[in-house]
Amino acid sequence: NIVLLIFNNSKLFRNKLMDKRLLTIQDISCVGQCSLTVALPVISACGIETAILPSSVLSNHTAPGFSAWTFNDLTDDMPNILAQWKKENITFDAFYTGYVSKTQIPYIQQIIKETARPGALKIVDPVMADNGKLYAGFDADFPKEMAKLCDGADVLMPNLTEASFLLDVPYVAENYDKQYIEDLCKKLHDELNVKNVVLTGVSFEPSKLGCAIYNGTDFDYYFTEKLPVSMHGTGDVFASALAGSLCRGKTLSQAAAIGANYVVESIKQTIDDKDHWYGVKFEKAIPYLIEQLK
Ligand code: PXL
């Protein structure tokens, strides 16, 4: 038991360097409070140097509410950027990937392989789906490509829909039990070869929402109050705060709790503004995030 306790509380980072540099790879949705416009400010607010590699540029995100969007894929830039980084010996302590396209997955794997410092963390948010459906920009073969990017991740953080697509099992929206959630986590851990799973959007009772955390040995859970709304971009707010907190030396359970609390606070800052339908006002909750990191 003592051994398990130590394992559970262990920090994912083994190297003791004080300041970490993280590279996040995801799209720029110019407007809409998601992906890089969330990750860059949030991880920076955590006190972590945040480098970015934009996977694409969109005028706005693709979720319901916007009628259309522009999309410029930046795959072609990736090998050139890597070649230049290699000339400059640029390396990273952590990688956090989000919304990416199919063609760039092999380049991203190569970038991680060639720029990782010893002990670097690979954090994958397999952004592609929610509420039982793939996002508008992805076709039916995307999940099997995303599964390749998950291989070897230190932390994989799918929502329930993404977990179902990654494992190619039917999506169950409600009335599941703890056994079902733990089986999903075990399959993600074993079949996708990831070290830790944070499964989000888990709810066993109407008033609580949270996540299951599995390290290949034990489970932990973290729940917050469930607010009566679902808002766009909250997955990115959660993942960014989790990644930043891990780089600050928090354990995975602590980082997941910080991320979940920050999402709740960001929703509370937004909920009374009926015109603010496209994202959450995570900016207003930044002081709260910093307070939690102390
Ligand atoms: O929040 C995830 C996300 C990121 N980027 C783009 C999106 C979405 C979700 O819809 O459309 C472009």
Q: Which amino acid is at 274?
A: K
| pLDDT value at 3 more than 60 | no
Which is nearest to 213 in space by CA: 1, 7, 3?
7
Encode the chain in three state secondary structure: CHHHHHHHCCCCCCCCCCCCEEEEEEEEEEECCCCHHHHHHHHHHCCCEEEEEEEEEEEECCCCCCCCCCEEECCCHHHHHHHHHHHCCCCEEEEEECCCCHHHHHHHHHHHHHHEEEEEEEEECCCCEECCEECCCCCCCHHHHHHHHHCCCCEECCEHHHHHHHHCCCCCCCCCCHHHHHHHHHHHHHHCCCCEEEEEEEEEECCEEEEEEECCCCEEEEEEECCCCCCCCHHHHHHHHHHHHHHCCCCHHHHHHHHHHHHHHHHHCCCCCCCCCCCCCHHHHHHHHHHHHC
User: How much distance in Å is there from the Cα of 89 to the middle of ligand 1?
Assistant: 32
Segment 10-23 shows an average pLDDT of 77
pTM of the model: 0.95
Which tens digit of pLDDT belongs to each residue from 143-192? 999 999 999 999 999 999 999 999 999 999 999 999 999 999 999 999 99
- Residue whose Cα lies nearest atom 7 of ligand 1: it is 61
Å from CA of 63 to ligand 1 middle:
7
Given a cut of 80, whether residue 8 has pLDDT beyond it is: no
Which pLDDT tens digit goes with each residue over 199-253?
999 999 999 999 999 999 999 999 999 999 999 999 999 999 999 999 999 999 9
Mean pLDDT to the nearest integer, 93-98: 98
Which pLDDT band holds residue 11 (cuts at 50, 70, 90)? confident
Of the candidates 97, 107, 93, 159, which has an alpha carbon nearest to the alpha carbon of residue 132?
Answer: 159
CB-defined site of ligand 1, < 6 Å = 27, 29, 34-35, 58, 61-63, 99, 127, 135, 233, 235-236
Whole-number Å distance, alpha carbon 153 to ligand 1 midpoint, is 21
- In ligand 1, which atom is closest to the CA atom of 135? 10
